[in-house]
Amino acid sequence: MRQTPSAVVVLAAGAGTRMKSATNKVLHRIGGRSLLGHAIHAARGLEPVHLAVVVGNQREQVVAHVEQLDPGVVVAVQEEQQGTGHAVLVALDQLPPVDGTVVVTYGDVPLLSTATLTTLVETHTQRRNAVTVLTTRLPDPSGYGRILRDSEGAVTAIVEEKDATDEQRAVREINSGIFAFDAAVLREALGRVDFDNAQGEMYLTDVVAIARRDGRQVGAVTTSDLWQCEGVNTRSQLARLGSELNRRTLEAWMAAGVEVVDPTSTWVDVTVVLAPDVSLRPGVQLHGSTTVASGAVIGPDCTLTDVVVEEDASVVRTQGSQSAIGAGASVGPFAYLRPGTVLGVRGKIGTFVETKNAQVADGAKVPHLSYVGDAEIGEGANIGAGTIFANYDGVHKHRTKVGRQAKTGSHNTFVAPVEIGDGAATGGGTVVRRDVPPGTLAVSTGAQRHIEGWVLRKREGTPSAQAAQAALDSEQSTATAASEEPEA
């Protein structure tokens, strides 16, 4: 039977000065979530009765983010950062009285998984520990608190590096800072923790030694996955953990049947959903709530954010956001899908085409060099190359509607609001200012006329004039020669 903790406390009050950023450390993002978002997601997976986040530095940023992520989270403010023990005490004071298990974790440990937390809670409960700590062994444990054990291997204490002896610093087993506590033991022990240490802070780790002195059982869960215990304090660490998270994400998708041609250049957020037999070409970035259905090919060189791609679609060298691409549709290369773009089944948005708030129906095509804004393009319609949907009059946006099976000429401008009827056509270079009835051909250009000799008069001495004169002289010579030929 799964054990549900009474509370999870996520510590996120630190300054994070080594990030050298105006943004709070826990709000920096990897894999489509903030560091704090990853922590809250892992904690929520335990289904705790209460979930609290302790904030302090730049609290306005963090509180707003927490409310957006999970309105059910209790926010506890640590006015002065007096250590991890004090932070937990602040959280407990904000929660209703709790008993059972309290889990403490951190807002800057993004690779920590719900599965690892579940193992921690289950071990803690099954062994009836007062305290259970998550540990790991590092080749270089510098900067971490060390786990001290007795001759029988039982955990006796945790010593912070600044307070450790040389012998203790040689210990490679480190404290991750992640604990499961008996709630009553935790609260009682925190009342006895002092500030007598190198940093003058109230250490949460002192609860371990207090519990041991009281004859209570302290246990540990040791993970071999070092990444789950690693926190982010610098930009370099942020990049390293982001790269590792992406590697794990791609490995999981490949195991589920997704083809990733070049994992080193492919980035997929943890919030993205992919189906088996999706193919991701090099240079692909998939973000947000993007979903890709079976048989679709994405890339090379695509960035899609909150885009739905249906079965067997092809998307090449495209940037898109908040858009939908229908089954069997084709997009790109060099297309830009802005929010509100919906492309139907077997539709096409082609080379150097930009769309915004545009619905392109099944089988409709916008193949080349066009801007389609605030538009509805009917089933089977074809938009000529170089077409502009002029949707903005300087004050308001207006819509253009192109009917089913309409065929529009190249280099058209549709001055919205305007409607081109079903089966209608437009001539090349047409500026459409009025509705075109179904089945009608609309043209707006006048008859072609020539002004002979204009280049010779207006561009005298230029290469164009010289070329024109040479051509005219050649034509004149040919005509003269023809006229001088004797009759047969």
Sorted by where each starts, the structural domains of the chain and their CATH numbers stand as 7-229 (3.90.550.10), 258-442 (2.160.10.10)
**pLDDT value at position 482?**
77
**pLDDT value at position 245?**
98
Q: What is the pLDDT of residues 33-45, one digit of tens each?
A: 999 999 999 999 9
**pLDDT value at position 483?**
77
CA angle 18, 20, 24 (to 5 degrees): 90
Q: According to DSSP H, which parts of 336-462 are helical?
A: 454-458
**pLDDT value at position 120?**
97
Q: Give the integer Cα–Cα distance in Å for 384 and 427.
A: 10
How many helices (H) and strands (E) the chain has is answered by 10, 36
Share in percent of the chain as helix, strand, coil (round to 5): 25, 30, 45
**pLDDT value at position 62?**
96
**pLDDT value at position 445?**
81
One-letter amino acid at 248 equals R
Q: Which long-range contacts (CB under 8 A, 24 or more apart) does 247-254 make?
A: 248/111, 249/31
Q: What is the pLDDT of residues 298-311, one digit of tens each?
A: 999 999 999 999 99
Cross-strand bridge partners of residue 308: 291, 324
Q: Determine how many CB atoms are found less than 10 A away from the CB of residue 56.
A: 21
Cis peptide before 437 (omega within 30 of 0): no
Provide the mean pLDDT of the chain. 95
All residue ranges of the chain with pLDDT < 50 are: none
One-letter amino acid at 477 equals S
**pLDDT value at position 450?**
86
CA dihedral (189, 191, 196, 198) positive or negative: positive
Q: Which long-range contacts (CB under 8 A, 24 or more apart) does 425-433 make?
A: 426/384, 428/384
Q: What residues are annotated to the active site? A: 368
